[in-house]
Amino acid sequence: MINVGIVGAAGYSGVELIKLLLNHPEVEIKKLFGHSTVGSKIEEVHTSLRNMISLEIEKFSSEAIKELDLIFVALPSGQSFEAVSSANQNGVKVIDIGGDFRLKNIDEYKKYYKHEHTAVELLEKSVYGLSEWNEKDISKADILSNPGCYPTSVLLALIPLVKYELIDETPISIVSYSGTSGAGKSLVQNMLFSEVNESVRAYKVGNHQHIPEIKQSLEMFGGKSQKFSFIPHLLPVTRGIYTTIHAEVKNNADEQMIEDAYYSCYKSKPFVRFLGQSVPEMKDVAHTNFCDIGFKLNENGTLVVFSTIDNLVKGAAGQAIQNMNIMFGLDQKTGLLAQHKKSTKE
């Protein structure tokens, strides 16, 4: 069994992790860590967990993790350095769901995340966990940085087009829409129900922290730099991300060439569902670890690609578990699809 702990267990991603890991046949949740909830039982903080798990939330310490094989860190940016450093010093593998170890350039980290990076020496050890594109390095990782939710939806849709040189070098447009859970549990006035209900708004235009992550990963996995604009929007729903990408095709690329690129990249990837020339819907990926991708090629050579994920699952906890499975040599689907649930004794 893999003995795991969760730092930030009472947050949205932390609770999603708990629910998914309870169905994992190779995992035992041993420790839950928090801050303002220390001393409370997790089922008291999140009553949806009643009769599912009963663990007291502890204050994080190096001593408390020594008997663990892995910790998940689900904390806001700028808050994961202590936990990741402690895990590394104690020989405990770590998956950071936040953004502190995604960017290799610390100047860009400071610019976009507004924090000083206090564990620079660990950046070289950190592996970027885009499961479908970095499996070899993930399998050897001790420190894994889980991708952001927006970048997951963007990169899975865009990398095949860049890799196979099917789109023009002119700037592409990326427009994404996210549910409110993507902002975490912090109490902010413009995230109140009465502020977001029956409305849609763009935010962090031109300075969203996921912009350098998308750029870095396109170069890493697509093999070249690609100019783009990225505009995120807030939707009045709880969970889900929907991304639309506009690009110009090159070299007279047609529908068949586009389909071949996606099939070549994802035919053996269990959590990418390529829908061809059908348009995906956000509701079809809710509470799953799937990314659904479709496209339309217009007569004028304009390509529109659609991608949708559940931001709390494929965009956070689910992809983290997918990466854990790769790190420990398990089938990627374990604990994430029905046939891999824990068996129950009669």
Distance CA 25, CA 328 (A): 13
Question: HSE-up of 192 (CA within 13 Å, CB side)?
Answer: 5
Using N-to-C axis directions, what is the helix angle for 12-21 and 318-327, rounded to 10°? Answer: 50
Catalytic-residue membership of 149: yes
Question: Helical H runs in the chain?
Answer: 12-21, 42-45, 81-89, 106-113, 135-138, 149-163, 193-196, 211-217, 255-266, 318-327
Catalytic residue among 87, 149, 174, 320: 149
**Which residue type is seen at 39?**
G
Distance CA 260, CA 267 (A): 10
Reference 68, options 324, 341, 342; nearest CA is 324
Neighbours of 162 (CB within 10 A): 22
**DSSP conformation class of 242:** E
Neighbours of 328 (CB within 10 A): 15
Distance CA 235, CA 118 (A): 34
| Beta-bridge partners for 2 | 27
Task: Determine phi and psi for 254, rounding to 5 degrees.
Answer: -115, 180
In a 3-state reduction of DSSP, which class is residue 170?
Answer: coil
End-to-end CA distance of the chain: 22
By the 8 A CB rule, do 65 and 78 touch?
no
Greatest C-alpha distance within the chain:
62
**DSSP conformation class of 21:** H
The catalytic residue positions are 149
